[in-house]
Amino acid sequence: MPHWVTREVFRCFKCLERAGDRLTGAAGPVFVTLAVVLLSVGAFCFFEVISPSLPWPWLTTPACLLVALNLFAHYYYVCTISPGFVCDPPRTPGTGLLWARKRRDTGRRPLTGVRWSEDVHVTRAAMSKCRKCGEMRPERSHHCRICGRCVLKYDHHCPGINQCVGIYNERHFVLFMLYLVVACFCYAVFGWKRVLLALGWFDTPWPYFAPPMAFLLSFILAVVLFMAVSAMAGWHLYMVASGETSVETQDHEQYRKIAKQRNESFINCYDLGWKKNLELFFNVGPNGYPLYTLLVPLRIEPYTDGRAWARRPGFEQHLGVRPGEELTDEDDE
C-alpha cells in the first residue's frame, strides 16, 4: 500500500476520533440529565411500590433511605467536584457539615512532600512536561483529549458525569457505582412480585400512583444495570486493590511485556498490597478517616494532593521500566 494512502487513512481516523471527542463533550449534560431523571424515577417507584411491603420497616426503611442518600450524594459529588487539574492550586479541606473529620490521632499532616509513618512511605512525584498543553505535571497525571487539560491521577473521562475521574472525585465515582449495584440488587430482588401485579397476572388492580409501565421499565433497567455496573465496579475495585488506574492498567501491561522480553519482572511501585491500597484510596484506617465515612456520604480529602505518592519501601519508580520507556499520552492513543 502506498505511503500516502496510509497517511490519509490515519488522518481520517484522527478526524473521526476528534469528532467523537467533541460529541462526547457536548453530550455530557444530556447524559447527566438522563441519569438524574432515571435515578429519580427509580427511587420514587421503589419507595412507593416496594418499600412499604418489606418486612421489619423499622429496619429496612432507614437502610433503604441510607442507600438512596449515598446514591444521590455521591453522584452529585462526582459530577460537581473537579477531578483536579495540574494547573489548579493545591486544595484545602472544607470545614462545613458535609466534610468528615479525621481521627484525632492523625492530626493535620501535609498532603504533599516527603513523610513516613509506620506503614507508608510517601515521596515527591517526578515531574515531566506534557507534549500537548505544555504543563509541567507530576507522575500519574495524563492529558484528557476532551477537557484539553492535564488531570491529576487521571483515570478516564466519563460522559455519564460530564467530566474526568481524577484524584479528587475518584472515591465518589467508585462509591456511586457500589451503591448503584446495591440499589439495583434490592430493586430486582424485592420488586419481582410487584412485576407480576403490574403485568396484570392477578385480578387485583394496580393500587399505586406510579404507572405500571414506569415501574416495569425501571425494574428492567435495574436488572440490566445490576449486571453491567457490577462488572464495572468489580473491575475498578480490582484496579484500586492493585494500586492502578484505568490508564495505568493498560500501561503496566505493556511494561510487563517489555520486562519479560529482557527476562525481568515488572513491579508496580504504587502497589502496597490490596488492604493498604484500599485504605489509601478511600483514605480510611489508622492514618485516615473513620470507617463510617464509607456509609455516610461525607466529603473527605485524599491522602495526597497528587504531587506525592505512597510507594513500596525502597522503590522510587517501577521495577523493570528503564528511563525513556515510560508511555506518554501519545503512546496511549
CA distances from 246 to 154, 170, 221, 243, 330 (A): 8, 11, 26, 10, 16
The distance between the two most distant Cα atoms of the chain, rounded to a whole number of Å, is 74
Query: Among 144, 158, 164, 186, which one carries the catalytic annotation?
Result: 158
Q: Return the amino acid letter for 309.
A: W
- Report d(CA 34, CA 97) in Å as an integer: 29
158 is catalytic: yes
DSSP annotation of 150: E
The DSSP result for 95-155, as a single string, is -STTB----TTT----SSS-EE-SS-EEEEPPEEE-TTT--EEETT-EEETTTTEEETT--
Distance between CA 133 and CA 145 in Å, rounded?
A: 10
Cell of 224: 440490566
- How far is Cα 307 from Cα 131, in angstroms, rounded to an integer? 19
Cα torsion angle, 89, 93, 94, 95, sign:
negative
**What Rg, from alpha-carbon coordinates, does the chain have?**
23
In angstroms, the Cα distances linking 253 to 22, 256, 259, 327 are 29, 5, 10, 11
Beta-strand (E) ranges in the chain? Answer: 115-116, 121-124, 127-129, 136-138, 142-144, 149-151, 156-158, 163-165, 308-311
Cα 20 from chain centre = 22
Residues labelled catalytic: 158
